[in-house]
Amino acid sequence: MKKYLMRLDFMAARHWFSAVSAVLVVASIALIIGRGLNLGLDFTGGTIIEVHNPGGDIVIDDVRNALEGTPYSEATLQHFGSASDLVVRVQPLHKLIEDGEVADDRGIEADKVGLEVTALLQDEIPALEQRRVEFVGPAVGDELRDKSGTAMLAALIVILIYIGIRFTSKLGVSAVAALFHDVIIVLGAFALMDWQVDLTVLAAMLALIGYSINDSIVIADYVRDSFRNSRVSDPHAVVNDAIRKTLGRTINTALTTWLVVWALQIFGGPAVHGFALAMSIGVIVGTYSSIYIVCNLALSLKMNKEDFMLPEAKEVDDMP
């Protein structure tokens, strides 16, 4: 198997993979714009209510029935830690400003939403106990959303500058394009499946940027060294050689990372569910992009041996 992989011409099908990537990116952008992302309370604001049933498990269908016909019927319900603990996430209702206090359109103060939801649930499950209530204001959610987008953009710009200095501008542009490719496709998957995007998913996006760029830099190192130290000057052959030399490392890194992420997915519970889900998709997409986006685009930008040649040292005579 290894000998077969070491003979593969990875760049032979690069135009086909370019078409696949283009379709995925366009479809993801269309989903994000058209369908939108299911933003969590971290970004939209709202109320989180955690309840516990000391008498046994909480059946989500029973809770949903208790909220049916109320302004909280669209609340997100999720077990937290065990089947007897439940987290209810209530999106912000239509807000009005009354005497300097934030209220919903029925005149209920925002900090009383948790008490009302708990009362509705106790009608269905009398033994239910309220553990905690947290409220995130819409202004805070908007600020988090804006700053998280700025942080991600800043990370991409710094990476572009770093790779452009360390390698070439062609590889720098290619690497950053691959990072955009990865992030957009993962967010497109979340838009398609209507999975919730919260701060843990944002953390996964930043972790994905680090993971993907690390793999790209390793391949770029081999490409640079091959151009400088080898007599081979054909960019297609040099890129294929770099991919083959790093293939074992790439597979091992992706596999071990993916296994850890899936362990978090299975055993980590709701707190890290979004992070693990985003990373499980991102590891696959990031491994693919380091080969078929970075290398592919660099070849399309006419990367060649001259891009990596060191400047000739100038001789200085002894004259003052």
pLDDT of residue 280: 93
Class of domain 46-136: alpha beta
Kindly report the pTM of this predicted structure.
0.77
Q: Which CATH architecture has domain 2-39+141-306?
A: Up-down Bundle (1.20)
pLDDT of residue 3: 60
Residues 6+ apart with CB under 8 A from 290: 178, 212, 215, 216, 219, 250
pLDDT of residue 150: 82
pLDDT of residue 107: 43
pLDDT of residue 96: 43
Calculated CA dihedral for residues 190, 194, 196, 202, nearest 10 degrees: 20
Which residues of the chain fall below pLDDT 70? Answer: 1-7, 93-111, 136-142, 144-145, 310-320
pLDDT of residue 316: 53
pLDDT of residue 100: 47
* Domain residue ranges of the chain, discontinuous segments joined by +: 2-39+141-306, 46-136
Pairing mode, strands 196-197 and 38-39: parallel
pLDDT of residue 315: 56
